[in-house]
Amino acid sequence: MTVFRALTIAGSDSGGGAGIQADLKTFQELGVFGMSAITAVTVQNTRGVRGVYPMTPSAVGEQIDAVGEDLGVDALKTGMLFDAAIIRETAERIAAFGWSRVVVDPVMIAKGGAELLRADAIEAMKRHLLPLAYVVTPNIPEAEALSGMTIASMADRREAARRIAAYGAKIVVIKGGHAGEDSEAGLGAGGARRGEPGERAGAGGARREEPEAGAGAGRASRVVDLLYDGRDFEELSGPRIATRHTHGTGCTFSAAITAQLALGEDVRDAVRTARDFIQAAIEGAPALNLGGGHGPTDHWAYARLRAGSTR
């Protein structure tokens, strides 16, 4: 029996919906053996982040070494890295082990506004980590920070993707979850629709909709993730699910890409599977209904959907 192994280098979310916890749940659901190197412990629930306790850079490096020297790594992702020293340590280890299936989720700010990456660490991310990235998965504010430009249209998003690719990341996926929050309203209106993974994932059951304060007005009815491979652009889209329970969507999405890369899937297929996984997880989130704030997504939903069962 061959067991495929995935490592997450990220922060702990005590609430279980994002960070290391989301990553390990996602790895498990996709049939991959999950391992972790913890960069920081956050004191967090669905209402927000109350505290951040970073590890020392060498503690992060030692965890990576322990896993790499013994168990082995087929693919890895990075999430919350907190500061420039942890970024440098992480990048050094990735380069030393020669790992190539590397997904960088450039986590910067939590949904409630808490800082998960120091502002002065963005340069280190561009300089040390992006050159090692096979896939980088910024949301729109993160893409703005990495590219140094404002994103107000799909054309802007393409330009930002080009600039981010110039730092060395082979595949750039700019996620559309935040589109329409300010100037990017209506972003999802045009463009080629290939794959349509959302439609397949959504076919199983009735969508559980719920009103969401502030989210309806001006937002496109579809989410569009833009993929750039250094040459061509591809728009991957699915229906926008109206829910406030989206805590950890970015972590879960990048973990699903990582799991599929660990299994040996081609990168475009990995991104499509990850879209199916996150869409099912968001669709299932309102029924989970955990916590009083932005609740976690349903990491069981994708497997349930594939097994053809409703809950």
Ligand X SMILES: Nc1ncnc2c1ncn2[C@@H]1O[C@H](COP(=O)(O)OP(=O)(O)OP(=O)(O)O)[C@@H](O)[C@H]1O
Ligand Y SMILES: Cc1ncc(CO)c(N)n1
Check 34, 251, 252, 297 and give the catalytic one. 251
Q: Which is nearer to ligand X, 26 or 279 (CB)?
A: 279
The only residue of 262, 279, 298, 299 in contact with ligand X, by rule CB under 6 A: 279
Is 251 among the residues that bind ligand X (CB under 6 A)?
Answer: yes
CA distances from 236 to 97, 98, 269 (A): 32, 30, 11
Largest CA distance in the chain: 52
> Which among ligand X, ligand Y, none contacts residue 176 (Cβ within 5 to 8 A by kind)?
ligand X
- Shortest distance, CB of residue 208 to ligand X, whole angstroms? 12
> Which among ligand X, ligand Y, none contacts residue 55 (Cβ within 5 to 8 A by kind)?
none
Adjacent-strand bridge partners of 226: 174, 235
Q: Which is nearer to ligand X, 59 or 215 (CB)?
A: 215
Q: Which is nearer to ligand Y, 107 or 282 (CB)?
A: 107
Q: Which of residues 71-90 bind ligand X (CB under 6 A)?
A: none
Q: Which is nearer to ligand X, 11 or 250 (CB)?
A: 250
**Which residue type does 266 have?**
D
Q: Which of residues 117-176 bind ligand X (CB under 6 A)?
A: 139, 175-176
> Which among ligand Y, ligand X, none contacts residue 240 (Cβ within 5 to 8 A by kind)?
ligand X
The only residue of 27, 134, 253, 277 in contact with ligand X, by rule CB under 6 A: 253
The only residue of 111, 157, 244, 299 in contact with ligand X, by rule CB under 6 A: 111
Asked about 175 being catalytic, the answer comes back as yes
Q: Which is nearer to ligand X, 67 or 224 (CB)?
A: 224
Sites of contact with ligand X (CB under 6 A): 18, 111, 139, 175-178, 223, 225, 238, 240-241, 246, 248-251, 253, 275, 278-279, 282
Instruction: Return the active site residues.
Output: 175, 246, 248-251
